[in-house]
Chain A
Amino acid sequence: MKHTLAVLVENKPGVMARTSGLFSRRGFNIDSLSVGVTNDPDMSRMTIVVNGDDRVLDQVRKQLNKLINVIKIVDLPSNNSVERELVLIKVTVGVDTRSEIMQITDTFRAKIVDVGKDTLTIEVTGDEGKINAIIQLMDHFGIKEIARTGKTALIRGEK
């Protein structure tokens, strides 16, 4: 089962390595990991998607908590969180496919952020379902390159 963990860490060199190293060392599976500084410049927030049963997740949380640079861990409930990912997709275009791709881009409320002679680069944000759907569609036209940020998420409401 997939779980999304929000991990508040000190914004210091080496913290990323300590965290990701822990996962490989203990045999935990990471699906994605994204990180960025928070409104407090001394703190960073990591969003980690892990795959495993309850026992594995329990160990992940406890072992992460043992890292001195980890301040707080929250298990984000999938039914009560805003979850987003950003993807850049570079698609091959020809005269005959250009308008169809632009239509799909519109439908997905995505943006065209770069235009080349034979390519379009599309920026799309959304949850996992939306991202996978547009990638599948664009695959028909030929994806040249793709860059995903990995999931980032916040709990809904005031909490």
Chain B
Amino acid sequence: MTKMTGAKAMVESLQKEDVKVIFGYPGGVLLPLYDELFDADIRHILVRHEQGAAHAADGYARATGRVGVCLATSGPGATNLVTGIANAYMDSIPIVAITGQVATHMIGNDAFQEADITGISTPITKHNYLVTDGQNLPKYVKEAFHLALSGRPGPVLIDIPTDVFKNEEDFHFPKKASLEGYKPTVKGHPLQIKKAAELIKNSERTVIFAGGGIITSNAHEELKRFAETINAPVTTTLMGKGAFPETHPLSLGMVGMHGTRYANYAVCDTDLLIAVGVRFDDRVTGKISDFAPDAKIIHIDIDPAEIGKTIRVDIPIVGNAKNILGELLEVLVKLNNKKWNDQIEKWKKEYPLAYEKKGIKPQFVIEQIYDACPDAIISTDVGQCQMWAAQYFKYTKPRTLITSGGLGTMGFGLPAAIGAKVGCPEKTVFDIAGDGGFMMNCQELATAVENDIPVKVAILNNGFLGMVRQWQELFYNKRYSHTCLKSKTDFVKLAKAFGAVGIRVTKANEVRSAIEEAMEVDETVVIDIKVEGEENVFPMVPPGASIRDMIG
């Protein structure tokens, strides 16, 4: 067995886990590790703020399906990761966050740059480790990657005191992680599958309700075959966008607060809701007692704690969505509910997504981006820009919408786009940002430019914190308390200051050419698009209302 320092052992372990890239930021306690990384065969991308590192690792994981890795120093470095870790936790994204810690003998002494990051991150990680004995380091790395990616994925944090990096220990990297208290159920219970199949055969108005679990488990092919076999319409959550092609005749688009009317009506009238890889988030269900009120519910999820958490379920099936849909397909025959499908078609014709074409509408910008690059990976900030990006871009493949669903983190779009582009360099990556969210992590333009990660940013610049302004308009008598940005910031100059290309768009007929110009250059581009200031996201379910009662 070879003896090596903890820092070397860390790098070796990461290589054994086939880590190709780390998003990180150095600091005092990380000096021994960064010294090893200096000539290691791992690409290190220096971000400009640790939050950017966590979001980039998250975007990388969402785009590739691999574990994203971020690295930060002790104290403020570690606490700056917190929002990014919480973001990954809420959306079940596999990342491993590595933090440096003050030396073992200093822990608990309020040392310089000390923060109890394992304590802080316990509620927002799937698991975390404080490595006090260097011998355990390789084992913990093995376990962390296994935990992050398997079962219901999520972030895992490893906190390593600086002396552990320096001390020499025997290096032993286990072949398998063995965790007695961790055995996720992946195979569906045969009896439950039989019961579900029976129910499906005997229902007349089935709706499939698909979420991020489809994407996580690579079940999109199975979902498509399943929907086509039972001839049932498919609606998705925000996290489920890309799980089912939105160009497919059976697609209903998104359900919920800003879902399509036809998806919401279908869910209200269904007699069988087949929920796959979803957690019945309040932004989806609205008033829970009015969500699929007359339906039997089949809930397929890998996390048993999600079953019955917010809604009564008739047939729970715990397991991996790909396996279970595959098993259901084996026992199901072709079904046809023409009356129901005709009703859905009628709703689709009657209530399409629509907006008034006047000035530069943000919806129009999204449609133009879709037309220009339908195969792009889209990342978003949070708020109106996110909802329009969800409504007006048609996602046809998994891992093409990268958005902060659960936590709703403004500032996510740009660093996540960087992570996605690093993972999928051959794809166009477009960040659809708002002028509010973009400013929260715009420093990462430096990361994109200096590391040759040519992402494209479209800022839907309306001069407002748009979604909050929309709520103030609708529910607070138009009292726009602190939501008007009145920004004098020149985003074109800002882009140029970072070494990126800046394009300003002030007329509707310039939108398309600006998008095309952005795609032609192999550089990071920011397009500042002056959109209509007080446009609202519609349709909308007011908070706490039934999803049948949509406004706009």
Q: Is the CB of B305 within 8 A of A59?
A: yes
**CB-defined contacts of B305 to chain A, threshold 8 Å:** 59, 62-63, 65-66
Q: Is the CB of B181 within 8 A of A21?
A: no
Tell whether A66 pairs with B303 under 8 Å between CB atoms, given A59-B309, A71-B180.
Answer: yes
Contact partner of B119 (CB less than 8 A), chosen from A17, A55, A59, A69, is: A17
A59 CA to B310 CA, complexed, in Å: 10
Contact with A along B109-137 (1 / 0, CB 8 A): 00000000011001100110010000000
Does A148 touch B at the CB level, under 8 Å? no
A9 CA to B308 CA, complexed, in Å: 25
**CB-defined contacts of B123 to chain A, threshold 8 Å:** 21, 25
Shortest Cβ distance from B119 into A: residue: A17
Tell whether A17 pairs with B127 under 8 Å between CB atoms, given A68-B147, A71-B180, A71-B181.
Answer: no
B133 to chain A, nearest CB (A): 11
Does A70 touch B at the CB level, under 8 Å? yes
**CB-defined contacts of B127 to chain A, threshold 8 Å:** 68
**CB-defined contacts of A63 to chain B, threshold 8 Å:** 305
Shortest Cβ distance from B147 into A: residue: A68
Range class of the B interface residue count: 10 to 19
Contact partner of B181 (CB less than 8 A), chosen from A58, A59, A68, is: A68
Does B326 touch A at the CB level, under 8 Å? no
Most buried by A among B126, B181, B303: B181
B18 to chain A, nearest CB (A): 23
Nearest first, the 10 A-B pairs at minimum CB distance are A62-B305, A68-B127, A71-B181, A68-B182, A62-B304, A70-B181, A25-B123, A68-B181, A63-B305, A71-B180
Q: Is the CB of B122 within 8 A of A17?
A: yes
Contact partner of B179 (CB less than 8 A), chosen from A21, A66, A68, is: A68
**CB-defined contacts of B130 to chain A, threshold 8 Å:** 13-14
**CB-defined contacts of B180 to chain A, threshold 8 Å:** 10, 71
CB contacts under 8 Å to A, within B136-177, are 147
Contact with B along A86-104 (1 / 0, CB 8 A): 0000000000000000000
Shortest Cβ distance from A70 into B: residue: B181
A9 CA to B127 CA, complexed, in Å: 14
Does A18 touch B at the CB level, under 8 Å? yes
A59 to chain B, nearest CB (A): 6
Does A113 touch B at the CB level, under 8 Å? no
Q: Is the CB of A21 within 8 A of B122?
A: yes
Pairs across A and B, CB under 8 Å, 27 listed: A10-B180, A14-B118, A14-B122, A14-B130, A17-B119, A17-B122, A18-B122, A21-B122, A25-B123, A59-B305, A59-B308, A62-B304, A62-B307, A63-B305, A65-B304, A65-B305, A66-B303, A66-B305, A67-B181, A68-B126, A68-B127, A68-B147, A68-B179, A68-B181, A68-B182, A69-B181, A71-B180
B368 to chain A, nearest CB (A): 44
Shortest Cβ distance from A66 into B: residue: B305
Interface size on A, residues (CB 8 A): 20
- Contacts A62-B305, A68-B179 supplied; 16 other A-B pairs, CB < 8 Å: A10-B180, A10-B181, A14-B122, A17-B119, A17-B122, A18-B122, A21-B123, A59-B308, A62-B304, A65-B304, A66-B303, A66-B305, A68-B147, A68-B181, A68-B182, A70-B181
Which residues of chain B have a CB within 8 Å of any CB of chain A?
118-119, 122-123, 126-127, 130, 147, 179-182, 303-305, 307-309
Tell whether A58 pairs with B119 under 8 Å between CB atoms, given A10-B181, A14-B130, A66-B303.
Answer: no
Contact with B along A39-67 (1 / 0, CB 8 A): 00000000000000001001100110111
A21 CA to B182 CA, complexed, in Å: 19
Q: Give how many A-B residue pairs fall within 8 Å (CB-CB).
A: 37
B179 to chain A, nearest CB (A): 6
B181 to chain A, nearest CB (A): 5
A22 CA to B128 CA, complexed, in Å: 14
**CB-defined contacts of B181 to chain A, threshold 8 Å:** 9-10, 67-71
Q: Is the CB of A55 within 8 A of B308?
A: yes
**CB-defined contacts of A71 to chain B, threshold 8 Å:** 180-181
B362 to chain A, nearest CB (A): 37
A67 CA to B147 CA, complexed, in Å: 11
**CB-defined contacts of B147 to chain A, threshold 8 Å:** 68
Shortest Cβ distance from B184 into A: residue: A66
A69 CA to B122 CA, complexed, in Å: 13
Shortest Cβ distance from B118 into A: residue: A14
A58 CA to B316 CA, complexed, in Å: 14
B273 to chain A, nearest CB (A): 20
**CB-defined contacts of A13 to chain B, threshold 8 Å:** 130
A70 CA to B127 CA, complexed, in Å: 12
A55 CA to B179 CA, complexed, in Å: 28
A21 CA to B147 CA, complexed, in Å: 20
Shortest Cβ distance from A68 into B: residue: B127
A65 CA to B305 CA, complexed, in Å: 9
A68 CA to B125 CA, complexed, in Å: 11
**CB-defined contacts of B304 to chain A, threshold 8 Å:** 62, 65
Contact with B along A1-27 (1 / 0, CB 8 A): 000000001100110011001000100
Most buried by A among B126, B182, B305: B305
B525 to chain A, nearest CB (A): 42
A95 to chain B, nearest CB (A): 50
Shortest Cβ distance from B308 into A: residue: A58
Contact with B along A66-85 (1 / 0, CB 8 A): 11111100000000000000
A9 CA to B180 CA, complexed, in Å: 10
A97 to chain B, nearest CB (A): 47
B131 to chain A, nearest CB (A): 12
B373 to chain A, nearest CB (A): 40
**CB-defined contacts of A62 to chain B, threshold 8 Å:** 304-305, 307
B256 to chain A, nearest CB (A): 23
A71 CA to B303 CA, complexed, in Å: 17
**CB-defined contacts of A59 to chain B, threshold 8 Å:** 305, 308-309
A14 CA to B305 CA, complexed, in Å: 22
**CB-defined contacts of B307 to chain A, threshold 8 Å:** 62
A63 CA to B126 CA, complexed, in Å: 11
Shortest Cβ distance from B312 into A: residue: A55
B377 to chain A, nearest CB (A): 31
**CB-defined contacts of A9 to chain B, threshold 8 Å:** 181
**CB-defined contacts of B182 to chain A, threshold 8 Å:** 68
